[in-house]
Amino acid sequence: MRWSQSLGGMALTLIVLNFKTYREATGDSAVALSKICESIASEYGVDIAVAPQAADIRAVASAVSIPVYAQHVDGVGFGSFTGHITAASVKAAGASGSLINHSERRLRLADIEASLRACRSEGLTSIICTNNVATTRAAAALRPDYVAVEPPELIGSGIPVSKADPEVVRGSVEAVRAIEKDVGVLCGAGITHGDDLRAAIELGAVGVLLASGIVKAKDQRKALEDLVTGV
Amino acid sequence: MRWSQSLGGMALTLIVLNFKTYREATGDSAVALSKICESIASEYGVDIAVAPQAADIRAVASAVSIPVYAQHVDGVGFGSFTGHITAASVKAAGASGSLINHSERRLRLADIEASLRACRSEGLTSIICTNNVATTRAAAALRPDYVAVEPPELIGSGIPVSKADPEVVRGSVEAVRAIEKDVGVLCGAGITHGDDLRAAIELGAVGVLLASGIVKAKDQRKALEDLVTGV
Amino acid sequence: MRWSQSLGGMALTLIVLNFKTYREATGDSAVALSKICESIASEYGVDIAVAPQAADIRAVASAVSIPVYAQHVDGVGFGSFTGHITAASVKAAGASGSLINHSERRLRLADIEASLRACRSEGLTSIICTNNVATTRAAAALRPDYVAVEPPELIGSGIPVSKADPEVVRGSVEAVRAIEKDVGVLCGAGITHGDDLRAAIELGAVGVLLASGIVKAKDQRKALEDLVTGV
Amino acid sequence: MRWSQSLGGMALTLIVLNFKTYREATGDSAVALSKICESIASEYGVDIAVAPQAADIRAVASAVSIPVYAQHVDGVGFGSFTGHITAASVKAAGASGSLINHSERRLRLADIEASLRACRSEGLTSIICTNNVATTRAAAALRPDYVAVEPPELIGSGIPVSKADPEVVRGSVEAVRAIEKDVGVLCGAGITHGDDLRAAIELGAVGVLLASGIVKAKDQRKALEDLVTGV
């Protein structure tokens, strides 16, 4: 579902929490963190999606009712593709969307497109990650639901892209509007606090993709509460 | 656990069924096929391990008590590794082993070694797949629990390697004995029938790795029954 | 140089001959074939560029005065990048352009963009190869000099894309015009004869990318002559 | 040629200088640096091989008579392999050996083996790079002419592996002797001075692989002279 279609066209801010392979978000901890996200989402009326590892999707999706996204889907379908992660398998496990081409799991252009098609054919929401304005333009041209622009040097830095490099966010928003205005722009890298999120929204983003700032926080609930005050 | 340690040193023939991303072995079908494997394993007293997709491991491991293997584990641990499959996550989901470097998911040498270390540190049985005698030698030098030699041109062919190219099996067995005699040699590619399995054992293999011959059989149970008559 | 700028805006048909790693186009044979191309280009007044292997660029560029393109350039610059092919090195050897992301050397999206930037900063003409209309759109959004659309299943088939799948050419031309009208569309895969080239031009392509039809022809000169009759 | 065969079995210390894609070793600068290496090799009676970028091999090999190595060779032969670097092409350009699997150009295990076979069939000396004792064992099992062990964290650090981590060198030498005693062990990463080289030889290495310490030295000749005093 495209963001612009939610609530009769009123765009809701989307927060996607990437669990990466953090110890604090693997196995039972993935389920526990997802429950915190669900509770905050409900309490504060915000949209939070969680993106656990493939092997954790089923446990998480059974435990919470907020959207669960895969971190990666290969551009292959049913067949002889040992070790690949298919859209069909993550959907069967309960996922309703996926990141594609995250900075830590970059794909070839043809595979991004194939992965996007696989997501579409399974009805999964798609978020293509990009690293600058030019790749954001290219990704938008493929017509995913979202692109998430994350300058790699800021990922995990604690320095929010919305402050350190507002131009990459603004430029991405403009580039996407010029090419495919239905594609929502998320903003990632270094986002932690409500301030960062608010700055991202003011730059034209419809949401944020974040990870370490919440997952590795001493108090995950408190960190999430701080974040959602930015909505 | 090394094969040679099972049953007080008496080697049991190991059958590993790779589910790949076949439709007939995804989601609910993965669970159903695993139950058939469990039933045959118990009825015939043979060792069968199943290797479903990462997102299906939890459902399969909850449903059966035979060993469940991952099809692939990345050589990374906890941390910033979005979209990767970690040993910790598949173990948390119920896996007790993993294929590494399957022909359809080849890894760089340094990553094979890192994946192997990750498996070891989580106590997962490791099977490194190889494509010829030379790479079998190299893989054995890394000291996994098993190597599984599969000439790529025979994978999915229905032509059993044990008949089409017995020398690659014999040569692999000899090469492994010369380098690391505790490493068990599995034989893959084209294995379907009891005859194929028997021929593999006679060539010195301690088991087989197979996929389409069983997964895509009209009657999976019957195909498995045919296979295990070879033990 | 953009195609549209040649001859005061009048677009010349561009023929790019990819030498791949064919024996008939390696080492001395690369030089010999390049001389044939130069002779035909001069005799028939057509634009032919040759794309030999990296190690052959210098010998070819010393021997002919038609444009010499690299087959691939990595998206890295000067530094610690052992085994990579840089824009600076192929330019120093005499190249004036490069293929990027050929079907047999696919790149990650971020690397395509980095390779393109590297080509630009060295003044090399850039041709991004794509596999369908969607990836052509994405590639055009990056603003290379050319995109070359080649359905992988037709590469080396002898079945010209301009006949087998005219829609992919027409769709690519339209998609590019809508996004970046200055980007020229080349059409590849299965092109051999003058007819194929003419059909490509009629579909809106400004040139062709071809390989085996010429390189592996019994009589390379005759094959080229047949081809250029299509201009 | 295996190191142990040089001078009637008397091993000569081999120095391999990796030019990477350094500006100071690209194009004309690659030729100039190679001439310095040749002059030092002749003056001091040491074996120095240079490894320039693929596109520079021909110019370098025409200018000097010391061995010229490629930095990388793909495991493919003649055929449809656009953008790949073949053993045949680097040999035609004048190379007599190649690095394989350098830390900055890691290969899949099956591709290392295929690259090694390609080098052998063209008569090229092969050096497989590895990152620790375990991968050194695996590489040696493939029977290249040399393995070069380089802990990635020390590459370019200026901290010589022979001092920072002598165990990885000693362990590699022992591992190789146990598996394939004809394979020579080179030692890389952080090597700059004559002391570093001497320490490497004392640990059992037959030579060194180095790069930035010489290439990026203010005075390349002086840096090389300092190094060869260690022989």
- What digits encode the pLDDT tens for the residues B47-85? 999 999 999 999 999 999 999 999 999 999 999 999 999
SS3 A110: helix
| DSSP conformational letter for A7 | T
Number of compact structural domains in chain A? 1
CATH label of the domain that carries residue C220: 3.20.20.70
pLDDT of residue B11: 53
- pLDDT category at D147 given cuts 50, 70, 90 is very high
Residue-by-residue DSSP string for D10-46: PPPPEEEEE-TT-GGGSTHHHHHHHHHHHHHHHHHT-
Question: CA-CA distances (angstroms) from residue C185 to A206, C97, C176, C188, C201?
Answer: 34, 16, 8, 10, 10
**Residue set of the binding site of C for substrate:** 18-20, 155, 190, 211-212
Cβ under 8 Å to D: B residues 25-64: none
Of A47-51, A54-58, B87-91, B209-213, least confident by mean pLDDT is B209-213
Q: What is the pLDDT of residue D9?
A: 41
Tell me the chain B residues in contact with residue A103 when contact means C-beta distances shorter than 8 Å. 82
Global ipTM: 0.93
Q: Which are the catalytic amino acids of D?
A: 102, 150
Q: Rounded mean pLDDT of B161-166?
A: 80
Task: Collapse the DSSP code of C64 into the 3-class scheme (helix H, G, I; strand E, B; otherwise coil) and give the result.
Answer: coil
DSSP code at position D1: -
Helix boundaries (H) for chain C: 28-44, 57-63, 87-92, 109-121, 133-141, 161-164, 166-179, 194-202, 212-215, 220-228
* Residue B57, amino acid: I
Q: Is A163 annotated as a binding residue?
A: no
Write down the pLDDT at residue C8: 42
Residue D178 lies in a domain: yes
In a domain, A181, yes or no: yes
- How confident is the model over D82-90, as a mean pLDDT? 98
Residue D149 is assigned to a structural domain of this protein: yes
Counting beta carbons within 10 angstroms of the beta carbon of residue B91, is it exposed (0 to 12), middle (13 to 18) or buried (19 or more)? buried
Q: Which residues contact A62 (CB under 8 A, 6 or more apart)?
A: A94
Which is the catalytic residue, given C72, C102, C113, C122?
C102
Q: Which chains touch B (3 or more CB pairs under 8 A)?
A: A, D
Q: What mean pLDDT is reported for chain C?
A: 91
Q: Is the pLDDT of residue B131 over 90?
A: yes
pLDDT, residue B9, reads 41
Residue A19 located in a structural domain: yes
Tokens matching residue A57: 């999707």
Q: B41-47, long-range: CB within 8 Å, 24+ apart, which pairs?
A: B41/B66, B44/B225, B44/B228, B44/B231, B46/B12, B46/B13, B46/B15, B46/B228, B46/B231, B47/B6, B47/B12, B47/B13, B47/B14, B47/B15, B47/B207
Q: Give a yes or no: residue D68 inside a domain.
A: yes
Catalytic residue at B150? yes
Q: Are B86 and B77 in contact (CB under 8 A)?
A: yes
Cβ-Cβ contacts under 8 Å for A13 (sequence gap 6 or more): A46, A47, A197, A201, A206, A207, A208, A231
Spell A113-149 as b/e; 16+ CB within 10 A means b. Answer: bbbbbbbeebebbbbbbbbbbbbbbbbbbbbbbbbbb
**Angle, helix A133-141 to helix C109-121, in steps of 10 degrees:** 130
Positive or negative, the CA dihedral B81, B87, D140, B200 is negative
Is A212 annotated to bind ligand?
A: yes
**Confidence class of residue C11 from pLDDT cuts 50, 70 and 90?**
low
**Which of C110, C131, C142 is closest, CB to CB, to A110?**
C131
| DSSP letters spanning A78-106 | SSS-TT---HHHHHHTT--EEEES-TTS-
D1 domain residue, yes or no: no
- B1 found inside a domain: no
Q: Which of B102, B104, B109, B180 to mutate to test the interface with D (most CBs of D within 10 A)?
A: B109
pLDDT for C107: 97
Identify the CA nearest to A147 among candidates A166, A164, A131, A167. Answer: A131
Strand order across the beta sheet in which C125-130 lies: C47-51, C14-18, C207-210, C184-188, C146-149, C125-130, C97-100, C69-70
User: Are the Cβ atoms of D138 and B141 closer than 8 angstroms?
Assistant: yes
Q: How high is the pLDDT of residue A216? A: 95
- Of the pLDDT bands very low, low, confident and very high (cuts 50, 70, 90), residue A221 is very high
Task: Tell me, yes or no, if A212 comes closer than 8 A to chain B by beta carbon.
Answer: yes
Domain ranges, residue C150:
6-228
Q: Write the residue in B22, B55, B212 that is nearest to A58 by C-beta.
A: B55
Which residues on neighbouring strands pair with residue D186, listed in sequence order? D148, D207
The Cα B86–Cα B54 span in angstroms is 10
Residue B132 lies in a domain: yes
Which pTM value belongs to this model? 0.93
A102 is catalytic: yes
Q: Among all residues of chain A, which has the CA nearest to that of C111?
A: A108
**Nearest-CB residue to A55 (from B58, B81, B212):** B58
What stretch of H or E contains D212? helix D212-215
pLDDT at C10: 45
